[in-house]
Structure 1
């Protein structure tokens, strides 16, 4: 093996798989993006094929034997992670990446401090209190059927419910009209619209309602009162989840994660205000490069814990 040791970070989601390869000085040697590799979303064989393709792209110009440590972040990984075990030797790796949850990866992507909280809202939603980066208490994250309050799915479902209620009142305008158009086309209020919206929702996977979240957020930004009400309710739900795991007097950092909580979104603005009011001394940050965070967690396993390395890999 020629050259120094390398670390490998992988963030494997349902839509996208990201890989980052770096040395222990924080120099990024390669990155790759591939199709989603979560076995729950795609099945074991397809997920393994997608992750392997992204890995081979990242490792194309280096000797895979130089990878001394790796970390893979994967939602539901404790259950589904072993289905990817065949990928590592197939890519030429001599080490098996350490498996962490998506919450641990999100937290590490936002701070180099080992203890604090993470609040995530994407398709799903959850909060966690972390110690040594690992979640020790988790609230929500129960999936679309049982929870995920304040998530993209929650916003989408609430928007459809509000649109159907507006249609029943014969008041199809604003957010309600936008939701109907997105699902069934520009239709007037009436029984036909009711049937068309219900049919469109039930014809797709339930979690696909999350695709309506950007529509709600855009309407809220434009001042739509119905959208603003949904955003405020979502913010309340997310704060409830964070309060369930975070001590009332904590001054530890809070990391915000997930596309629905991206900087500048009206939901992010509302959540940040609530956190600042409840924990005024807590540093607030957003996730950076999650594949880089996975590489940094791998470097920590080799004893490299400095914040400068974290900053370089998560930028």
Structure 2
């Protein structure tokens, strides 16, 4: 029985899906981040190897006929991982592509369209014949990623500091939840006296840890916090503006939304979909499992009906969600 293998090597986690050419699930593996830029080559290789071995289980790796690996940030090249594939016993080396291409195929079987990703970072890309044609943002937290989880967290802390320094109680859910996350529950009441403590707490953490505050923003917005709701509106506007830099006004191809900020059913995703619908008459879909999408890309040239295979492979199954 011939197999295909798909890898989603992100900055936070690595996932691997193994499927038959009929789309049947064979195995699924997950491990730590597989982006060499973020974690170093040795750690990335180790994490990727763990995910692949889990997914293959007792299967003979030589049965894998094709494989595709999506790597966040284009952090590696096929040559960087050649020894890893050989050590795993794979007879074929995975084709390495960017995570935007994988994310697009996780939401549609169409060859061309647009993908918008907002997780820790943010990027939009035009896809033409399953290859990137244009990219906007994706510059990283220091230079861009506007509308991302990091952006939401950073903006939230800034607004909370202004609220605590210049406002008056009650300070609202966003201020309370951000202060609690950063400082812990303490006896000192919120107000100007805790501003310096909040600043020190933020600078004591890794910069990207600010992205962990994004869910606090969306939760506060859903609860009616006006400051948080304003940040959600701004984030959605920035993200759709990013899309407009890679998508023509008369484009009709599908738009795929990916990343934790857009796919969890939260307010940013809803706001983005509303804004997209005002600008383009096009289908908007939410990306599914990226590792399964990579497996489909590996299989599509080996089967007579790639679109039907896409529907089978991308159907949510317990093996991927466990």
TM-score by length of 2: 0.92
Cα displacement string for residues 58-91 of structure 1 (whole angstroms, at most 9, x for unaligned residues): 2222111111110001112254664433211111
In structure 1, list runs of 5 or more residues that go unmatched.
Answer: none
Q: Is the 8 A contact 2:6 2:69 kept in 1?
A: yes
- Give the structure 1 partner of residue 286 of structure 2: 286
Q: Is the 8 A contact 1:171 1:189 kept in 2?
A: no
Does the Cα contact within 8 Å between 1:8 and 1:295 map onto a contact in 2?
A: yes
Task: Tell me if structure 2 keeps the 8 A contact 1:156–1:212.
Answer: yes
1:10 maps to 2:11? no
Q: Tell me the secondary structure at the aligned position of residue 145 of structure 1.
A: coil
State the distance in 1 between where 2:141 and 2:133 align. Answer: 22
Q: Distance in 2 between matches of 1:83 and 1:188?
A: 53
Residue of structure 2 in register with 1:47 after alignment = 44
User: Measured at CA, do residues 304 and 226 of structure 1 come closer, stay the same or move farther in structure 2, by a change above 3 Å?
Assistant: farther
SS in 1 for 2:29: strand
Name the residue aligned to 1:296: 296
How far, CA to CA, are the matches of 1:161 and 1:291 in structure 2?
36
Match of 1:151 in 2: 148
In the alignment, what sits opposite 1:276? 277
Say whether 1:230 aligns with 2:227. no
Matches within 5 A, 1:47-196: 47-77=44-74, 79=76, 82-171=79-168, 173-174=171-172, 175-186=174-185, 187-196=188-197
| Whole-angstrom distance in 1 between the partners of 2:266 and 2:132 | 26
Q: Distance in 1 between matches of 2:175 and 2:105?
A: 38
Structure 1's 305 and 129: CA in aligned 2 closer, same or farther, altered over 3 A?
farther
Query: What number of residue pairs does the alignment pair up?
Result: 311
Cα deviations across residues 261-303 of structure 1 (Å, max 9, x unaligned)?
0242100110000001111x20110001211100111112436
Cα pair distance change 1:170/1:188, threshold 3 Å: farther
* Structure 2: gaps (5+ residues): 316-322
Q: Is the 8 A contact 2:35 2:76 kept in 1?
A: no
The residue number in structure 2 matching 1:313 is 313
C-alpha distance in structure 2 between counterparts of 1:55 and 1:154, whole Å: 33
Query: When the two structures are superposed, what TM-score results if normalisation uses the length of structure 1?
Result: 0.94
Cα-to-partner distance string for 1:19-53 (whole Å, 9 max, x where unaligned): 11111111111111222222122211111111111
Distance 1:154 1:81 in 2: 32
Paired residues of 2:37 and 2:75 also in contact (CA < 8 A): no
Q: Deviation string for 1:130-189 (max 9, x for gaps)?
A: 001222101101100110000000000000000111111143511122211111134434
Q: What is the root-mean-square deviation of aligned Cα atoms in Å?
A: 1.5
- Aligned partners of 1:35 and 1:304: how far apart in 2? 35
Match of 1:207 in 2: 208
